[in-house]
Every structure is written in structure tokens, then in C-alpha cells.
Amino acid sequence: MPRLSVWFIRAALVALAAGAAVGSLLLAAKASPAGGRLGYLVPLHAELLLIGWVVNLAFGVAYWILPKHAAGRERGHPAPAWAAFVLLNSGVAAAAFAAAAGAAPLLLAGRAAQLLALACFAAHAWSRIKPFGRGRAVRAN
């Protein structure tokens, strides 16, 4: 497993544990009169699990298992994928905090960072979405 996939997947596991902890708090409180007061944590729970867990995991596994290039660096230049990792996790942290605190400008910044992360990862992965065994050198011919 390449080092970047390790970072993506470990970030996903951290987000899963944190999101599950928040979700457990919400669920345990639901049956008590205090349950309604924790409603502000629902967006934080959703952000951690839907973006932090699922998207980090998908990017990490995709970087690992998508077909490699036949010539040059086997997974292409890693810079866009590393940028995606930094942007995605900064975006999740910002949006999760902003969603819980109700800070609209920070939420927008977090969402923008997530969008840029997706663009960076798509730029990296696009040429690797191809049949196994077909490389850039073959395609050039």
C-alpha cells in the first residue's frame, strides 16, 4: 500500500472513530429530556462520517488499486493527490467545526477546500481509470 493511501485510510479511520463517538452521544441522549439540546452536533456527525470517513477511504483505496501507468511514474506525479489529502482533511476539519459552531464563512471555506480536493484527486486519477495493462505508452501508439 503506498504511503499516501496509508495517510488517507488512517485519516478515514480517525474520522470514523470521532464520528461514531459523536453519533453515540447523540443516540444515547435521544431518549432523555436533554437530547434536543445536542441537535447542533448532528452536522458535525454527518460531516465526519459522510466526508471524513467515506471520501478519505475512497480516495485512499483508489490511489492504491487503480491501474498503474506503463511508463514513467507508476501512479503518476503524486503532488495533486497529496494536495487532495491536505485540502480534503483541512476542509473536513473546517466544515465540521463550522457546522457545530454555526460559523458560516468557515463552513464555506471548508466546503471550497473539499471541492478543490475533489478536483485535485480527479486530475490525478482520471488517466488511471482505464483497463488493466493499458499504459500511456500503448495509448500513444
Partner 1 sequence: MPTLSRWLIRTGLGCCVAAFLLGVALAVPALRAAHPALAAAWPAYIHLLVVGWITQLIMGVAYWMFPRVQRGTSGGESAGWAAYATINLGLLCRVIGEPMVGLPAGAVSAWLLPLSAALQLTGILTFVVVIWPRVRSR
Binding site for partner 1 (CB under 8 A): 1-3, 6, 9-10, 13, 16-17, 20-21, 23-25, 27-28, 30-32, 49-50, 53-54, 57
Beta carbon nearer to partner 1, 36 or 133: 36
* Closer CB to partner 1, 42 or 119, in the complex: 42
Give the nearer residue to partner 1 in terms of CB position, either 50 or 138: 50
| Nearest distance, CB of residue 76 and partner 1, angstroms | 18
Query: Which grid cell is 91?
Result: 476542509
Burial 107-141 (b: 16+ CB within 10 A, else e): bebbbebbebbbebbebbbeebeeeeeebeeeeee
Least distance between partner 1 and beta carbon 50 (Å): 8
Q: Which is nearer to partner 1, 47 or 113 (CB)?
A: 47
- Do 75 and 69 touch, CB atoms closer than 8 A? yes
Neighbouring C-alpha atoms within 13 Å toward the C-beta of 97: 9
